[in-house]
Structure 1
Amino acid sequence: MTLRIGSLELASPVVLAPMAGVTNVAFRTLCRELEAERAGSTSGLYVCEMVTARALVERQPATMHMTTFAPIETPRSLQLYTVDPEYTYAAAKMIVDENLADHIDMNFGCPVPKVTRKGGGSALPYKRRLFGQIVAAAVRATEGTDIPVTVKMRVGIDDTHHTHLDAGRIAAAEGAAAVALHARTAAQRYSGQADWNEITRLKEHVTDVPVLGNGDIFAAEDAAAMMAQTGCDGVVVGRGCLGRPWLFAELSAALNGREIPTPPTLGEVTAIIRRHAELLADHHGEDKGMRELRKHVAWYLRGFPAGSDLRSSMSLVSNLTELDDLLSRLDPTVPFPKDAEGPRGRQGSPGNVALPDGWLDDPEDDSVPAGAELMHSGG
């Protein structure tokens, strides 16, 4: 089962969703290595952390560091957060001129209050004209290249203000090569269940470019079920891979009719944690790399018998030598536990969406929201 996005021909219709503080070069490399090792190939699309268009154009050091790609990463995929057509064009043109990536995704799905209260993320598609101008700017900057532009979004702001059907139509009309839908509203955040019926509606509404589905894919069977139920062309996986970077091998195998690899034992997970730590240390330096690893360890050990003292020590690990000692205390023969399956990451609670004053007054207003482009990368 393949997926074509513009010039990109992917052997697997599986995309890693960009996640702030997670999908850096270390995690993406690990996912690719495990897919190659456990499924025999690297075939999906692995998207970099979200970066802010203005921060990229201004070459803020932290943002430039986030755009690091490993030699094995092909194609290289970069997601932009933007609210301004001018900065969008400048950032996309910079990506083209400096060969920074092979694919540009655009974030219109972030539900975080500090993003939506400035009119960004999942708030922005409500402003239809501005949304269209932003997508058009990115497409214009990539004209004459093989770099496709895609859009990721949510169902809408809340149950009263759905935006995905208009946004999907506009994105395709402005030249986007694919659209991806997280089947929740911004008000839901990550709570409850994703409404896959909205993916079906979008697929029926947008027929000239691929439609990808996102939301509640925690196992290979979930991806197959979403594609069968909705008719979507591919799946985008976010929280389901937290502490399970081998999930992409399982998804690739399932969707291409191969046997799904056996989940790893605790000994295999230990080796994966150690490799992740090594990659993080290479990217960030050992001190920051170990601080970044701490949150991942909690996800990796979910459901395994590790003990509260060891888990607590792992949450404070500060160097590779200390990590090696702690990992040596785990029983390598323990099989992957059933308790480790299912939803991962923070579900949170639904709530009112923070928006700029008067944001809902006029969906045709194309004024750029004040201050939103001043945010640093990561959303």
Structure 2
Amino acid sequence: MTTVLNPQRTLRIGALDIGVPVVLAPMAGITNTAFRRLCREYGGGLYVSEMITSRALVERNAATMRLIRHHESESPRSIQLYGVDPETIAAAARIIAEEDRADHIDLNFGCPVPKVTRKGGGSALPWKLGLFRDIVEQAVEAAGHIPLTVKMRKGIDADHLTYLDAGRIAEDAGAAAVALHARTASEFYSGQADWSAIAKLKEAVTSIPVLGNGDIWSADDALRMMDETGCDGVVVGRGCLGRPWLFGDLAAAFGAEGVEVDATLGFVAQAFRRHAELLVEFFDDEDRGCRDIRKHVAWYFKGYPVGGDLRARLATASSLAEIDDLLGELDHDAPYPGAAAEGQRGRAGTPKRPVLPEGWLDSRDLGEADSCELRDAELDTSGG
């Protein structure tokens, strides 16, 4: 365990004492039970599920019901819901509460992906103030004793910012916390996150915690964000890709206990193998688990002396035994490469004009044409 050097900082969301003011951001295809368990082995925090489509949950889609399951070691349990219809989201929150499927619910109003925004969902939705208010109010009521939080972006683009209005509305509606990814939908993940927006939101929302998200690549970044913005905690997304031990660094930075890591290539290989093992357990299928770990290869071995041929073979391995043989070819004594392994991880994308329903920006009130688009969006049963 790391030596605790700093006064401990904690985070309370509703009745939940998170301990470490760190939240794992939901990431599609990444933050399944396997990855959450792995991150938790290094340090404390709140570990949120992949985005779950509310209608798919209400209709008990088989893939969705699998995604909302938690391992017995996970506590507190957290589920993020996506939807555009207040009644459907409320029904999904009610199922989670009444069937004791989670201890925390987060609502997604931050997704910038075109297939979501073109129907008025994700980061497009807070533009419609009344609809946003109805969703949060009804979801809070349906969740009952379970604290419900809101994750959002600054807005659609620089000319259509929504975060201050949305933050105040969520606070008034009974949300237990709000989290801000300090980019607009049009920025996707490009450029540099605007931490000053987190500071402005903290000034506007005063009775519940405000969490900051964007460009947390290290524990030092997390400390700097909290010091510069006054936010109550940090949300970590791409920074932990291929580096689940970041949560140990974060725990220590915030004065709690976390696993101390010497990130030699041998250590990284062990973490990669553990991740693959947990994926096999999660899918209950060795081939599928080994296929799923393939997308993590580049992230784990970023900056390390692992040749292209070996990386390619790891990215096509179909069994744990094959992975073991390939990892055995590595120089396990190779030290942490420093700057080469640091910095941005995952795809940043490029700024682009958000795809929105026709006429969406004409008014902040919901029109009949908007309602039709939203009804179509609620037909998605992909499971998130």
TM-score, structure 2 as length reference: 0.94
Give 1:262 shift: 4.0
Contact 1:20 1:378 in 2 (8 A): no
Q: Does 2:69 correspond to 1:61? A: no
Q: Secondary structure at the match of 2:151?
A: strand
Q: 1:22 & 1:142 partners in 2: Cα distance?
A: 26
Contact 2:48 2:78 in 1 (8 A): yes
Q: 2:262 & 2:167 partners in 1: Cα distance?
A: 37
Deviations 1:106-146 (A, max 9, x none): 00000001100010000000000000100011111022x2x
Unaligned 5+ residue runs, structure 2?
1-8
- Size of the aligned set, in residue pairs, is 370
Q: Which residue of 2 aligns with 1:163?
A: 162
Q: Give 1:34's match in structure 2, choosing from 42, 46, 49.
A: 42
Change (3 A) 1:186 1:263: farther
Q: Does 2:10 correspond to 1:11? A: no
Contact 1:49 1:378 in 2 (8 A): no
Q: Does 2:290 correspond to 1:276? A: no
Structure 1 stretches of at least 4 aligned residues deviating more than 3 Å after TM superposition: 257-263, 376-379
Q: Does 2:172 correspond to 1:173? A: yes
Q: Which residue of 1 aligns with 2:380?
A: 375
Contact 1:151 1:178 in 2 (8 A): yes
Q: 2:113 & 2:264 partners in 1: Cα distance?
A: 35
Q: 1:102 & 1:169 partners in 2: Cα distance?
A: 24
The one-letter amino acid of 2:69's match is: T
Q: Secondary structure at the match of 1:69?
A: coil
Structural mapping, 1:1-379, within 5 Å: 1-35=9-43, 43-143=44-144, 145=145, 147-256=146-255, 261-284=260-283, 285-338=285-338, 339-365=340-366, 368=371, 369-377=374-382, 379=384
Q: 2:325 & 2:88 partners in 1: Cα distance?
A: 48
Give 1:297 shift: 1.5
Q: 1:279 & 1:158 partners in 2: Cα distance?
A: 39
> Equivalent pairs: percent with the same residue?
61
Q: Secondary structure at the match of 1:176?
A: coil
Q: 2:317 & 2:332 partners in 1: Cα distance?
A: 20
Change (3 A) 1:346 1:88: same
Give 1:336 shift: 1.5
Q: Secondary structure at the match of 1:34?
A: coil
The one-letter amino acid of 2:306's match is: A
Q: 1:151 & 1:223 partners in 2: Cα distance?
A: 20
The one-letter amino acid of 2:82's match is: Y
Give 1:85 shift: 0.4
Contact 2:247 2:258 in 1 (8 A): no
Q: Secondary structure at the match of 1:187?
A: helix
Contact 1:263 1:336 in 2 (8 A): yes
Unaligned 5+ residue runs, structure 1?
36-42
Q: 1:376 & 1:205 partners in 2: Cα distance?
A: 36
Deviations 1:57-83 (A, max 9, x none): 101011111112111111000000010
Q: Supply the RMSD in Å over aligned alpha carbons.
A: 1.3
Give 1:263 shift: 3.9
Give 1:257 shift: 7.0
Q: 2:45 & 2:258 partners in 1: Cα distance?
A: 17
Q: Secondary structure at the match of 2:12?
A: strand
Q: Secondary structure at the match of 1:316?
A: coil
Q: 1:303 & 1:378 partners in 2: Cα distance?
A: 34
Change (3 A) 1:138 1:259: closer
Q: 2:248 & 2:258 partners in 1: Cα distance?
A: 10
Change (3 A) 1:174 1:259: closer
The one-letter amino acid of 1:10's match is: I
Q: 1:370 & 1:85 partners in 2: Cα distance?
A: 11
Contact 2:211 2:234 in 1 (8 A): yes
Q: Which residue of 2 aligns with 1:38?
A: none
Give 1:260 shift: 8.6
